[in-house]
Amino acid sequence: MAKSKVYFMDAHSESTETSLVAKMVTVFDAAGLDKMIKPNDVVAIKIHCGEWNNTAYLRPVYARALADRIKELGGRPFVCDTTTSTYSPWGSRSTELDILLTAERNGYTSATLGCPFICADGFIGTSDFRVDIPEGYLLKEAYVAQAIAAADVLIALTHFKGHSMGVIGGALKNLGIGAQSKRGKLNVHMGGHPNYGLGAAGVFHPEAFKGKANTPDWELLEDCCPFNLYHINDNDEIEWEREKCTTCLGCFGVMGPRGIVDIPPVNFDAVDVAIADACLGVEKVVGRDKVGYINMALDISPRCDCANHADVPIVPHLGVFASTDAVAIDMACVNKARESEGIPGSAAEVMEAHHPGDAKFEAAAATFHGQSEVASINTGHEIGLGSRDYELVNVEPGPADRFRFPYDKRTSRPRFMERFEKFQPFPYDRHDGKGFARNDEVDLEAMKRHYELSTNGHVEVEIEELQPADDN
């Protein structure tokens, strides 16, 4: 397969045209993604709106600027995300209602985006389009979120970061999980799979349940499963209808830490492979030449935006990437992260994988030792989704004019002179024309000095440990 091109600008910014927003639009055009869009095309911009209290997700201004560019091209953009599986008993994006509330709190609204924000797979997550993928390495079908399947063009605007299951959360995962309906996610997660599903491969330890009397929150053990597969029977024993398990992972954080069900590493390995298959499914539905990718490698947390927190980034901002190849763009980001120094205090340093050359996501993001940060990439290469052999094309900044405030292009005098004459912000008539009451001269240098502190520079006080708020 020929080398794919990945268009790249680094993360340094010191001017209008080198702002990260400007760079995103610049690489979008340089990669030819603008050429995909014809007048009146409905264009889906797939983002991750961030879980409740996550803070590393992409700022909505990037989606806004992209939507504005698509409108300039005559397209009709909408920004979208999809319902999640119930990854925890308290997920915030599992229905359309919940994802809209979470997205709004995180800043993704029609008002901020200048176009609609929609949940692409319906109220529960069963609005989808089934597609055969005979080329798939593991999956043979995918269920693509309806609004994405119905779009003329799809732009995956991805926050590139780590992921506890996918190891990396890049372009492949944005579509291989994020563009699948809830039904599609259960498929990718290996629900019902005879070897890789949780029901088949998970190890059940009923003896780890010590009875209701010794388990104050025992009801959670039954309530964490939306398919009602865990039961405490009349003998005070826990039972699991594992043959019906959908691998929705709703019990992941409940049963795992208690040692009742061991989550099998093989499930995670299989999902990493299936992500690439499902991404191919999306391209087949929308059109192989109608899907473009932008990776914003910024705030590179080891955890995905689907976590309800965000850790210290493991590497500095890497830059802005664009391509028509999901495999190549993720490979380029992984390589950049690998070349980079890790950030002090991050999980990369804790895991002693902060040196250039270290596989940082495998060390700092993966759940299990042995998971690979290139499994989805290799699968995508194998099945013809894209190529891990790429050419990195450095893109020069565009003209500053293009990225200035668009609503009034006039310079300051024509914009403000008459207004300032009417509403004068500087009181020329006070203090002999100096305007304000101030000392004429002070010792500015004195305020710039570092002084020895009387203690070692800080005071430590002990406070009583705060109790977390009651989840109920």
- Please identify, using beta-carbon distances, which residue of 28 and 87 lies nearer to ligand SF4: 87
| Contact region with ligand SF4 (CB under 6 A), list: 245-253, 288-296, 418-426, 443-451 | 245-253
Three-state DSSP class for residue 186: helix
Question: Phi and psi dihedrals of 322, rounded to 5?
Answer: -145, 145
Q: Which stretch binds ligand SF4 (CB under 6 A): 155-163, 172-180, 222-230, 454-462?
A: 222-230
Q: At what angle do helices 265-286 and 326-339 cross, to 10 degrees?
A: 130
- List, in sequence order, the alpha helices (H) in 224-264: 252-258
276 in Cβ contact with 180 (< 8 Å):
no
Which of 129/230 has CB closer to ligand SF4? Answer: 230
CB of 188 vs ligand SF4, minimal distance in Å: 14
Shortest Å distance, C-beta 251 to ligand SF4: 3
Is 245 among the residues that bind ligand SF4 (CB under 6 A)? yes
State the nearest-atom distance from the C-beta of 104 to ligand SF4, in Å.
28
Count of residues touching ligand SF4 (by CB under 6 A): 12
381-410 positions binding ligand SF4, by CB under 6 A: none
Q: Taking CB under 6 A as the rule, does residue 91 contact ligand SF4?
A: no
Q: Which residue, among 90, 12, 76, has the nearest Cα to 44 in the 3D structure?
A: 76
Q: How far apart, in whole angstroms, are the C-alpha atoms of residue 345 and residue 302?
A: 12
Q: Smallest gap, in angstroms, from Cβ of residue 125 to ligand SF4? A: 14
Q: Is 249 in the site for ligand SF4 (CB under 6 A)?
A: yes
Stretch that binds ligand SF4, among 23-31, 64-72, 155-163, 248-256 (CB under 6 A): 248-256
Element (H, E) at 232: strand 230-232
Q: Which stretch binds ligand SF4 (CB under 6 A): 63-71, 163-171, 221-229, 334-342?
A: 221-229
Nearer to ligand SF4, 249 or 364 (CB): 249
Query: Which of the ranges 112-120, 242-250, 402-410, 436-444 carries the binding residues for ligand SF4, by CB under 6 A?
Result: 242-250
Q: How far is CA 88 from the centre of its chain?
A: 18
* Residues whose CB is less than 8 angstroms from the CB of residue 68 and which lie 6 or more positions away in sequence, other chains included: 114, 406
Please say whether the beta carbons of 319 and 8 come within 8 A: yes
Please provide residue 44's backbone torsions phi and psi, each rounded to the nearest 5 degrees.
Answer: -85, 130
Which residues on adjacent β-strands are paired with residue 297? 319
Minimum CB separation from ligand SF4 for residue 225, in Å? 3
* Residue 229 C-beta: closest distance to ligand SF4, Å: 4
Place of tokens 């979470």: 102
Q: Smallest distance, Å, CB 166 to ligand SF4?
A: 17
By the rule CB under 6 A, 198 interacts with ligand SF4: yes
In angstroms, rounded to a whole number, what is the distance separating the alpha carbons of residues 49 and 104? 9
Scanning residues 339 to 358, which ones bind ligand SF4 (CB under 6 A)? none
Q: Is 260 in the site for ligand SF4 (CB under 6 A)?
A: no
Of the candidates 197, 204, 191, 252, the residue with the CA atom closest to the CA atom of residue 225:
252
Q: Is 270 in the site for ligand SF4 (CB under 6 A)?
A: no
Distance CA 387, CA 367 (A): 27
Q: Which stretch binds ligand SF4 (CB under 6 A): 30-38, 247-255, 370-378, 404-412?
A: 247-255
Contact with ligand SF4 (CB under 6 A) among 250, 264, 319, 386: 250
The yes or no reply on residue 227 touching ligand SF4 (CB under 6 A) is yes
Rule CB under 6 A: choose which of 179, 225, 298, 307 binds ligand SF4: 225
Q: Examine residue 229 and tell whether it contacts ligand SF4 (CB under 6 A).
A: yes
CB of 207 to ligand SF4, least distance (A): 18
Choose which of 103, 118, 251, 318 interacts with ligand SF4 (CB under 6 A).
251
Q: How many helices (H) and strands (E) in the chain?
A: 16, 16
As given in the structure block, the two tokens for residue 275 are 């992500």
For ligand SF4, the closer of residues 147 and 245 by Cβ is: 245
Specify the long-range contacts of residues 383-386, CB closer than 8 Å, at least 24 apart.
383/135, 383/136, 383/137, 383/276, 383/277, 383/280, 384/1, 384/135, 384/280, 385/276, 385/279, 385/280, 385/283, 385/326, 385/327, 386/4, 386/325, 386/326, 386/327, 386/328
In the complex, which residues of this chain contact ligand SF4 (CB under 6 A)? 198, 224-225, 227, 229, 245-251
